[in-house]
A and B are shown apart, each in its own frame.
Chain A
Amino acid sequence: MPREIIKIPSALGFSNVEEVRHQITKLISAESPQEFILDFAEVESIDTAGVALIDYLNEFAPRFGTEITLTNVSKKISSAMDVFHLKKVFTPEKKEPPGFFEKTGDLFYKLKNSVGDILILLSNITYWSGLSIVRPKLRRKGEVIHQSILIGVNAFPIIALIAFLIGFILALQSAAQLRQFGANIYVADLVAIAMVSEMGPLITAIMVAGRSGSAIAAEIATMVVTEEIDALKVMGIDPAPYLVVPKVMAMSLVMPMLTIFANFIGIIGGMVIAITYLDLDILPFFNEVMSVLRYKELVTSIVKSLTFAFIIAVTAAYFGQKVKGGAEGVGKSTTSAVVFSIFFVIVADSILGLLFYFGETTF
């Protein structure tokens, strides 16, 4: 078929452009006409999306050997179309002087109302976390995985080192005492329980707060300073689900894994002392570890690590979005984020410790 003609509706734009595109591409791919005429006689208005459609068709049609022609384009429409193709006036590839830092303002923090703000943020995040599980469109693609890698994978070596040393020291400090009573084997109990229900979750949380809590606070604070958060709001995007929720999710995913890993390495650290200083063998040591670790210790470990994950992510986000001033303010809020999240972690650790201690009978 040599030619095909289609009448374009009176307003071509965002609201109907997909419909028109389907109609036209279907005809072109089915019939491959030599010429495809878009009749603009009735068109009274065109916008960005309408012009994008014409650009699109000019690229799409040649694949089928079809040429696109526009007819009856009014003056008004053609001048509107020109606006979208002003390309010639800008000379591309140009070097301009670099941007400037926003001026720095007040640099102190008022912590009044903080508790209220944190609670609001907390409820927001919980709400959005729930919602974004149901409605994946709210999430940024691949963001949770990306964040998990940032938070988790790179933290393994340093956490391994610290956990090893802590297990080592725990065993070393108690070795002399245990030895006096000939209770050498109990070093396994001591290290296992202390690592799994206390030190593992705690040192992991402290390391993650230092590495990732600070990074999250700095990222969000920078986004506030550079007006990126404002820009998101203006474009109708709620910053909480967009930025914070993926981080909370990643943190909750990764922290338990890191904690279990730290527990394991810490016990190995204790084992080194047990073998070299207390003359124990690997097998009895491990048997003792397995016999003393119950359900309860593992649950404690996981519950703690999840709680700490939440605390670190939320505290970091809170101090990040509370930033005042420019680049300097970013540094300040990062510091506050780390200090306060470690503080909150230790407070939560005490509370959970008491709960698990007195809740003994339930397990």
Chain B
Amino acid sequence: MNLPVIEIRNLKSAYGDQLVLQEVNLQIPANEITAILGTSGCGKTTLLKHMIGLLKPLEGEIQILGKSILELDENELNDVLKKAGVLFQSGALLNSISLADNIAIPLEQHTNLSKDMIEFIIKQKLELVGLSHAYHYLPGELSGGMRKRAALARAIALDPVILFADEPGAGLDPVTAASLDQLLLSLKEKLGMTLVMVTHETASIKRIADRIIYLGKNRVLFSGTLREALESDIPALITFFNSDSSQKSKA
């Protein structure tokens, strides 16, 4: 196992009175693809939002790239987040501006590149996700899957060290899903990115995931390599891997 880039110790999290996660301990190793699995509503998105400091836990400690993010002030946290790209479950593109302007945001915010160069980076990223024709489109003019891909383009605009992706493959047809997997894989292999993704797509997990974290009953029920997960005798995991991915996936 590579050195961990993210470490979570004894995390406890709730919305108001509703407990979502407790006793969560996990490590995410560098340069691997870690898939977070679990039934709908079990707290995957919540866990992801803790990792990037958007939610504050009741208890516990969270380290990214060696920094305890709960102890950082806003500016220090922003410096850490510069190295992270985030693809939100709903895409989270700003709806009032074009795709190109959306992708320009992190570039304008964190670099001193000129307009020309930013334009070329935007084109490059849109091409990468197969949306070069949609440069001037507003997010509202895209389909759900296209929006997800555009959001991915924005998330990887700055070559993040860690890419967090909440259901990147949801709503994609099998062909496009396969090319998405190929893209994610090459981000890891050729650029050395660490990927943390929430996903329900068993086919895609089997193709690209190195590690599995399975959430259930407000806890981490399983954490280990893909092979260990496939051989595990935990009933929930067996059901998960034996059911058809196309039925499990949410549009």
Residues in A lying within 8 Å of B, measured CB to CB: 13-14, 17-18, 21, 47-49, 51-53, 55-56, 79-80, 82-87, 89-100, 102-103, 106, 222-223, 226-228, 230-237
Number of A-B contacts (CB under 8 A): 169
- Do A56 and B173 have beta carbons less than 8 Å apart? no
Question: If A52-B120, A91-B175, A234-B81 touch, does A227 touch B92 (CB 8 Å cutoff)?
Answer: yes
Of B86, B112, B120, B148, which contacts A231 at CB under 8 A?
B86
Interface size on B, residues (CB 8 A): 65
Name 24 A/B residue pairs within 8 A (Cβ), A-sorted. A13-B159, A18-B114, A48-B156, A56-B120, A80-B190, A84-B128, A86-B182, A90-B128, A91-B175, A92-B131, A94-B145, A96-B146, A98-B143, A99-B171, A226-B90, A227-B89, A228-B93, A228-B95, A231-B88, A234-B52, A235-B105, A236-B106, A236-B109, A237-B105
Of B109, B110, B124, which contacts A84 at CB under 8 A?
B124
Minimum distance in angstroms from A13 CB to a CB of chain B: 8
Instruction: Give chain B residues whose Cβ lies under 8 Å from the Cβ of A223.
Output: 94-95
A106–B158 Cα gap in the complex (Å)? 36
Instruction: Give chain B residues whose Cβ lies under 8 Å from the Cβ of A18.
Output: 112-114, 117
B176 on interface, CB distance cutoff 8 Å: yes
Question: If A90-B179, A228-B93 touch, does A236 touch B78 (CB 8 Å cutoff)?
Answer: yes
B213 on interface, CB distance cutoff 8 Å: no
Question: If A83-B191, A92-B132 touch, does A228 touch B113 (CB 8 Å cutoff)?
Answer: no
Instruction: Give chain B residues whose Cβ lies under 8 Å from the Cβ of A80.
Output: 190-191
Select the residue from B109, B124, B186 with max chain A CB neighbours within 10 A: B124
A53–B158 Cα gap in the complex (Å)? 14
- Do B116 and A236 have beta carbons less than 8 Å apart? no
Instruction: Give chain A residues whose Cβ lies under 8 Å from the Cβ of B93.
Output: 228, 231
- Do B130 and A94 have beta carbons less than 8 Å apart? yes
Nearest residue, chain A, Cβ from B108: A137
Of B52, B120, B144, which contacts A97 at CB under 8 A?
B144
- Do B143 and A96 have beta carbons less than 8 Å apart? yes
B235 on interface, CB distance cutoff 8 Å: no
Instruction: Give chain A residues whose Cβ lies under 8 Å from the Cβ of B114.
Output: 18, 21
Of B16, B121, B143, which contacts A48 at CB under 8 A?
B121
Minimum distance in angstroms from A146 CB to a CB of chain B: 9
Instruction: Give chain B residues whose Cβ lies under 8 Å from the Cβ of A17.
Output: 113, 117
Instruction: Give chain A residues whose Cβ lies under 8 Å from the Cβ of B84.
Output: 234
Question: If A234-B52, A236-B81 touch, does A96 touch B176 (CB 8 Å cutoff)?
Answer: yes
- Do A87 and B121 have beta carbons less than 8 Å apart? no
- Do B171 and A96 have beta carbons less than 8 Å apart? yes
- Do A227 and B90 have beta carbons less than 8 Å apart? yes
Minimum distance in angstroms from A97 CB to a CB of chain B: 5
B38 on interface, CB distance cutoff 8 Å: no
A353–B157 Cα gap in the complex (Å)? 54
Chain B contacts with A in 113-161, Cβ cutoff 8 A = 113-114, 116-117, 120-121, 123-125, 127-133, 143-149, 156-159
Of A86, A95, A222, which contacts B128 at CB under 8 A?
A86
A75–B12 Cα gap in the complex (Å)? 46
- Do A227 and B121 have beta carbons less than 8 Å apart? no
Minimum distance in angstroms from B129 CB to a CB of chain A: 6
- Do B113 and A96 have beta carbons less than 8 Å apart? no
- Do A89 and B183 have beta carbons less than 8 Å apart? yes
